Homo-oligomer: A and B are copies of this chain.
Amino acid sequence: MSREVINIGFLGFGTVGSGAVKILQEHNTEISKRLSPKLKIKTIASPNIANRDTRWVKDNVSFTTDVTQVINDPDIDIVVEVMGGREPANSYIRQAMAQGKSVVTANKLLLASDGPALAELAQSQKVSLAIEASVAGGIPILNAIREGIAAEKVVSICGILNGTTNFILTEMENSGALFSTTLAEAQKLGYAEADPTLDIEGLDARDKLAILTMLCFGRYVDVKKIPTQGITKLTPADFAYAAQSRCTIKLICSARLVNQELILSVAPTLVPRNSLLAKVNGSFNAIMLTGEAGGQTFYYGRGAGSGPTGVAIVSDIIRIAREIAVNSPGICPTFGYQNLVHQEEIAISSKALAYFLRFTVADKPGIIAKLATILSDNNISLDSIYQEKVYKQRDYLSFITMLEPTTQQQLAKALETIQTLDFLIEPPLVLPIDDNL
């Protein structure tokens, strides 16, 4: 019954894949103290394998451009999918699982959309589909939710889930530089990709939030329905104004269950400086989870990078190898739930929050009066108005109003009227201020 060798095949050999292979090699002695079967990398398949440095890989690993040599090899027990992208990764994973192989993947984009179907297939095939590396690479947060606090009823989860945007926001705050300058800097340093859209528009964070939502609540949504706001509109002035309220600005992903309704959002948010989330700088990630019985827990670590993500992948491999050793892969469902429930609607929060609004307007008299009237007509109280001369530019100026707590619905109504005002140079920037973080 017990197995001496567990064979592993890789699909993809980029940063994440080679990171995992390195961990398997370099932590080999340590891993063998934890695990009785030996882990053996049999085959690494990648369309670009000819362009990769593979000389450092030991132990007669086969390299190929032909993925079927991994997917169809009956000797391979665990397939590690680190190609990324929805297709062909999705088909490859399905084929591998159909042949009784367990799969480890870091593919957040795929999991956010096809995770429920893939988890179901894994369950019916009695294989494991393991996904620790897909969210907050260096933080074992999925394992913590799925097993560590499996008995908890999660009330809410908030997180900083994208290292690129957190790096940019931290730099903008520290240097006072423009978004575009900081993005270029991040690209030069390798923290942002040549096409940074998925990161800076919040789409990568949104995918990760969708995955966490499945793990915390057993529900999934159409990711495109998650209200998502990127960080491209932020200016150095916003950080200066936020600082006056003893806040910093972070791209916060949040999921809450209120009266069985699911409330999701990805948005740059003013976070009080004394919150643990405000201490998360550079490319780090963090998650704040609130449970009904256990209260608050907070998890912090690297979001990406070949080392942290490699640890996540190989830790998944170790877990699956232990299960295979007793002929029982797939003991715990991928998302911790036996069945995920599809949620058609994402609810709108009725919780009143304070808001930060930045207006960029043509400089003429009566502007504040008009705005204040509209807000008051909508029962929204103005907390304060800031305008620093240094941010006055050419013939327009920008100023900030802080609103006292109001609901999203009330604010939306007021904004509808505000957006018709002729002195607006651009739509106002609206950021929630979350004192509960």
Give the interface of A toward B (CB within 8 A).
19, 22-24, 26-27, 30-31, 33-36, 132, 137-140, 143-144, 147-153, 218, 274, 276, 279, 291-302, 305, 307-308, 310-315, 317-319, 322-323, 325-328, 331-333, 336-339
Given that A34-B150, A139-B297 are contacting pairs, would A291 and B311 also be in contact in the complex, using a CB cutoff of 8 Å?
Answer: yes
Residues of chain B contacted by A336 (CB below 8 angstroms):
34
Copies of this protein, total = 2
Contact B299 A297 (CB under 8 A): yes
Structural contact, B297 and A300, CB atoms closer than 8 A: yes
What are the residues of chain B within 8 A of A327 when measuring CB–CB? 328
> Which of chain B's residues have a CB closer than 8 A to the CB of A149?
140, 311-312, 315
- Sample of 17 A–B contacts (CB below 8 Å): A30-B153, A33-B339, A34-B336, A34-B337, A138-B297, A140-B297, A143-B148, A144-B148, A147-B319, A152-B311, A294-B311, A295-B302, A295-B308, A298-B300, A322-B331, A326-B331, A331-B331
For A274, the closest partner residue in chain B by CB is B279
Bound CA–CA A135/B315 (angstroms)? 22
A318 CA / B145 CA spacing, docked (Å):
13
Q: Are B298 and A294 in contact (CB under 8 A)?
A: no
Q: Nearest 8 A-B pairs (CB), nearest first?
A: A140-B148, A151-B314, A297-B301, A293-B307, A298-B300, A143-B148, A294-B308, A326-B328
| Contact (Cβ within 8 A) B298 A301 | yes
Q: Which residues of chain B have C-beta atoms less than 8 A from A302's C-beta?
A: 294-297
CB pair B151 A31 closer than 8 Å: yes
* Partner pick for A338 among B33, B297, B319, B331, CB 8 A cutoff: B33
Provide the residues of chain B in CB contact with A298, threshold 8 Å.
298-301
What residues on B are CB-neighbors of A305 within 8 Å? 295
Beta-carbon nearest neighbor of A331 in chain B: B322
Identify the closest chain B residue to A139 (Cβ).
B297
Given contacts A30-B153, A294-B301, A298-B300, 12 further A-B contacts (CB under 8 A): A34-B338, A143-B143, A143-B144, A147-B319, A292-B307, A295-B301, A295-B307, A296-B301, A298-B298, A299-B300, A322-B331, A328-B328
Residue of B nearest to A29 (CB): B153
How far apart are A104's CB and chain B's nearest CB, in angstroms? 11
Contact B151 A140 (CB under 8 A): no
The closest CB in chain B to the CB of A286 belongs to: B298
Chain B residues contacting A313 (CB-CB under 8 Å) are 151
Whether A337 lies near B138 (C-beta < 8 A) is: no
